[in-house]
Structure 1
Amino acid sequence: MTAVSSTRAQIATARSVVVKIGSSALTSLETGLDRGKLDALADAIESRMRAGSDVVVVSSGAVGAGIAPLGLSKRPRDLATKQAAASVGQLALAHAWGTSFARYGRTVGQVLLTADDIARRTQYRNAQRTLDRLRALHAVAIVNENDTVATAELRFGDNDRLAAMVAHLVSADALVLLSDVDGLYDGDPRKGGATLIPEVTSPEDLDGVVAGSGGALGTGGMASKLSAARLAADSGVPVLLAAASDAAEALSGAGVGTAFAARPARLSARKFWVRHAADTQGVLHLDAGAVRAVVDRRRSLLPAGITAVTGRFYGGDVVSLTGPDGVPVARGVVAFDAAELDEMLGRSTMELPSELQRPVVHADDLVRL
């Protein structure tokens, strides 16, 4: 057991928790869903809920659960077969979670999301309301990526990133990532000689860490877990990375695995969406003075500091802001269409008609990178 730090204490006492469960913790190539493992995870989650926490589950395993029933020998690589396996597996997965939580009189609701649902502000808020309402009604939300319709262009890439998104979406106080690894190591523990990193408090703690890709049943791996943990922690949500076999201990005292400390201030829902969820529709190229104003002085972006515009976008879209060297320095919600901005570039605000005398990107809608 690892000593309980302030970060671990935060996770152990969090009132709202998102728990992500990896495919390997629920399924096998030979038999599909492992009901014994799933029941043990449901037991640990129920115990946490009875202790007073709201819990949202992000469950991988839909594709894995569909492999055996379809007679496949390995995880499919082509999109059509993945979607077919997911269509079979999602039914089995939702039913299994429902049956397991029914032992405690709990109702389960399935929420399937695509990256497009998160990228679009209206759908983002709809998903937020659905999850909040399920929690208010004391149901267990089981969230998964909608693999049956998600294309390569619209995927989260893995459920670790989805879990980090959901953690901020529901204003969770903690994120727990459960899989077949018991924490973050400074190398591959399967090769020997690797050391467990018990806590990550700053980026410097990750110097020299080598993270690998996913296994036979999943799309994640340590690289995706590390990326998701940093995304959530950077947004103000502490994270615990632990083995699914240690779920009971992870969800009670948080004394196992690797804990990631959260940044002191949580990003607002809108700024999180702008920084991590929304697709950028264009680029505003800034001069050096505008970069200093936006990044160092945290000012709104005015047309005088914009040297060029790339892309086709409209007022209300999210755009990327780059410096003279082409490196992105911020993202923000633009107030004007690309066509309007073409006539405003480099001009002082006072030179413009009164209806255009406002920031191109207001400081409240701008996130520095």
Structure 2
Amino acid sequence: MSAGVDTRHAIASARSIVVKIGSSALTSVAGGLDTGRLDALADAIETRMQAGSDVVVVSSGAVGAGLAPLGLRRRPQDLATKQAAASVGQLALAHAWGTSFGRYQRTVGQVLLTAEDMARRSNHRNAQRTLDRLRALGAVAVVNENDTVATAELRFGDNDRLAALVAHLVGADALVLLSDVDGLYSGDPRKDPAAQFIPQVDSPEDLDGVIAGSGGALGTGGMASKLSAARLAADAGVPVLLAAAADAASALAGGAVGTTFTARPNRLSARRFWVRHAADTRGDLHLDAGAVRAVVGRRHSLLSAGITAVDGGFDAGDVVALRDPSGAVVGRGVVAYDAIELGAMLGQSTGNLAPELQRPVVHADDLVSV
């Protein structure tokens, strides 16, 4: 069995699945929410749930749903107007999902998240518990970025990345990204007639020569964000299907549509995934060549002897970036000391330190290479 067929089978048989739906699949600038298209998506999701799968929905469309009611003719560029449109659109979007799933006597729970919620370990765990409990109670969790409070500095940037993070957060067996494109092409097929369709991605080498563009009039994503999110999820151990929202029924039923992304064989633990993809870094540790070989090549804990410099005002328990002698980031990890304390330990061997300072600076269990 080929990797692509195996991935499609894994997605078709997944017991837990995250389905992300793009703005263009739900809204238009002129008309706001398209309830007909939303109902068709809910039908496909309900069919999958009736087949025995838990489904979490990551739904874009809040800003787009708020444009028409506010008399806006295009997606706003300034933050305040975006947040105003989102505040109107979130209400309409949640009501529409609730009404649509209500046809099947399904209860919908809205979960609004910001990048900070994923970056903070306590908020991350709280979100996980909420989503797990909603699924246990038979409700449909509809997740969106909390656009009304997210700032430019604290955004996921698009709901594709949010969906990839949620997929790992809930321990999903598969991620399905639905939008206005039917899969991955080597270029934009609307502009380049020679662009080739790519049915499966098994390794980074399969993406050589692929040109991915940015978002459209209603969304912040585009193929570049979808590709980035698919690679993030696959790297974390979650198989991915990228398909058109119009093909949702077939995509969720295991049909031969879209592009699959093969997952890495070993899934990252929740903590290591958080360190690698979700947490913000609060500072930098500069390593000598020997330390880089130890922590990246041999996956050893980082000791003070291999650290040459410290940047940032981090505290013990924060995530920091690990940089090689050239300044390139080679890893991330949870640091065991604050910046001031660590500054006095630089370059010293463990045996020369006080007993309370002889634990690793970053333990191997809390360290990931990048």
Tell me which interval the TM-score lies in, with the shorter structure as reference length.
over 0.9
Once the two structures are aligned, what percentage of the paired residues are identical? 80
Task: Structure 1: give runs of 5+ residues left out of the alignment.
Answer: none
Change (3 A) 1:158 1:317: same
Name the counterpart of 1:41.
41
Asked whether the 8 Å contact 1:4–1:254 carries over to 2, the reply is no
Q: Secondary structure at the match of 2:190?
A: helix
Q: Secondary structure at the match of 1:71?
A: coil
* Aligned match of 1:6: 6
The number of residues matched between the two structures is: 368
Residue of structure 2 in register with 1:167 after alignment:
167
Report the 3-state secondary structure (helix = DSSP H, G, I; strand = E; otherwise coil) of the residue aligned with 2:321: strand
Counterpart-to-counterpart distance in 1, 2:331 and 2:30: 47
Q: Which amino acid aligns with 2:354?
A: P
Distance 1:240 1:182 in 2: 10
Q: Which residue of 2 aligns with 1:314?
A: 315
- Which segments of 5 or more consecutive residues in structure 2 lack a partner in the other structure? none
CA positional deviation for 1:343:
1.0
Deviations 1:173-207 (A, max 9, x none): 00000000000000111021211100000000000
CA deviation vs aligned residue, 1:51-89 (integer Å, no higher than 9, x gap): 000000000000000000000110111000000000000
CA contact (8 A) 1:274 1:367 kept: yes
Asked if the contact 2:237/2:263 (under 8 Å) is kept, the reply is yes
Q: Which residue is 1:262 aligned to?
A: 263
| Cross-structure match for 1:278 | 279
Q: What does the per-residue CA deviation read over 1:275-330, in whole Å, with 9 as the maximum and x for residues that have no partner? A: 00100001000000000000111100000000010110111000000010100110
Does the CA-based 8 Å contact 1:11-1:254 persist in structure 2? no
Partner of 1:288: 289
User: Using the alignment, how far apart are the partners of 1:153 and 1:69 within structure 2?
Assistant: 28
CA–CA separation in structure 2 for the residues paired with 1:188 and 1:198 = 15
Match of 1:149 in 2: 149
Give me the TM-score of the superposition, normalised by structure 2: 0.98
5 Å matches for 1:98-177? 98-177=98-177
Where 2:310 maps in the other structure, the secondary structure is strand
The aligned runs of 1:68-107 (5 Å cut-off) are 68-107=68-107
Q: Distance in 1 between matches of 2:93 and 2:312?
A: 42
Cα distance between partner residues in 1 of 2:296 and 2:254? 40
Query: Which residue in the other structure is 1:179 paired with?
Result: 179
Kindly indicate whether the alpha-carbon contact (under 8 Å) linking 2:4 and 2:260 is maintained by their aligned counterparts in 1. no
The answer for the alignment partner of 1:341 in structure 2 is 342
CA deviation vs aligned residue, 1:204-223 (integer Å, no higher than 9, x gap): 00000000011111010000
In the aligned structure 2, how far is the partner of 1:83 from the partner of 1:303?
45
Deviation at 1:4, TM superposition (A): 6.7
Q: Distance in 2 between matches of 1:109 and 1:63?
A: 19
1:56 aligned partner: 56
TM-score by length of 1: 0.99
Question: C-alpha displacement at 1:253, in angstroms?
Answer: 1.0
Give the aligned partner of residue 330 of structure 2: 329
